[in-house]
């Protein structure tokens, strides 16, 4: 049975650089893994009242069930105002509630930040890691995955430049070792 690896992309934009990077990373997983892109487009914003009333939206229930089935987590995020986009933070919140039912718990994670700028989404990367510590998601520490100047790494046909794919492979190879040690 293939191990399911969930991909969570922090950008909803049609031409998202983060999505382009995520697709490239997902292509590097060996056949015994099944990369699954978890759709965050329709995930209702978290409101504890709905859990307290026993009326969580269907999007929350579906999302929580999807995450429960995953062996590993890959977060690919842009940086918005030196932090993570609201859609990704909302996903973390929905998955961590109600209290005591954290679907993220102990699932090995990989954090990749993507930016057209030189700072490579450093702020978003570390803000996301801060939340993941609280959610008990162990994350790969090395190699660090800051993808700066991303527009220079994408070929005209939308694929990632070959030398960058080599770097992506080192990230995925290290993550797979980490995943197996922490599963």
Domain that holds residue 77: 3-181
Separation between Cα atoms, residue 127 and residue 81, nearest integer Å: 11
Which pTM does this prediction carry? 0.96
What's the structural domain count of the chain?
Answer: 1
Separation between Cα atoms, residue 125 and residue 145, nearest integer Å: 9
Separation between Cα atoms, residue 105 and residue 107, nearest integer Å: 6
CB-CB contact of 102 with 138 (8 Å): no
Separation between Cα atoms, residue 145 and residue 141, nearest integer Å: 9
**CATH code, domain with 53:** 3.40.50.360
Separation between Cα atoms, residue 161 and residue 154, nearest integer Å: 6
pLDDT of residue 168: 98
pLDDT of residue 117: 84
pLDDT of residue 119: 79
Compute the radius of gyration of the chain from its Cα atoms.
16
Separation between Cα atoms, residue 39 and residue 12, nearest integer Å: 9
CB-CB contact of 110 with 73 (8 Å): yes
List phi, psi (to 5°) of 146. -105, 115
pLDDT of residue 104: 98
Nearest C-alpha neighbor of 136 from the set 109, 169, 106, 94? 106
pLDDT in tens, the chain (183 residues): 999 999 999 999 999 999 999 999 999 999 999 999 999 999 999 999 999 999 999 999 999 999 999 999 999 999 999 999 999 999 999 999 999 999 999 999 999 999 988 877 899 999 999 999 999 999 999 999 999 899 999 999 999 999 999 999 999 999 999 999 998
């Amino acid at each position: 049975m293939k191990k399911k690896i969930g991909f969570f992309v922090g950008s909803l934009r049609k031409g998202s650089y983060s999505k382009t990077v995520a697709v490239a990373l997902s292509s590097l997983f060996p056949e015994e893994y099944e990369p699954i892109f978890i759709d965050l487009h329709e995930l209702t914003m978290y409101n504890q009242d709905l859990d307290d009333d026993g009326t969580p939206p269907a999007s929350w229930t579906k999302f929580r069930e999807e995450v429960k089935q995953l062996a590993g987590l890959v977060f690919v995020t842009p940086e918005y105002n030196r932090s993570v986009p609201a859609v990704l933070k909302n996903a973390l919140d929905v998955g961590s509630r109600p209290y005591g039912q954290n679907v993220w718990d102990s699932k090995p994670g990989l954090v990749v930040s993507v930016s057209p700028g030189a700072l490579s989404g450093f702020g978003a990367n570390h803000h996301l890691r801060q939340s993941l510590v609280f959610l008990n998601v162990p994350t790969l520490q090395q190699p660090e995955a800051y993808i700066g100047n991303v527009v220079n790494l994408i070929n005209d046909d939308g694929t990632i430049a070959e030398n960058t794919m080599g770097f992506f492979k080192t990230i995925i190879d290290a993550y797979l070792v980490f995943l197996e040690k922490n599963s």
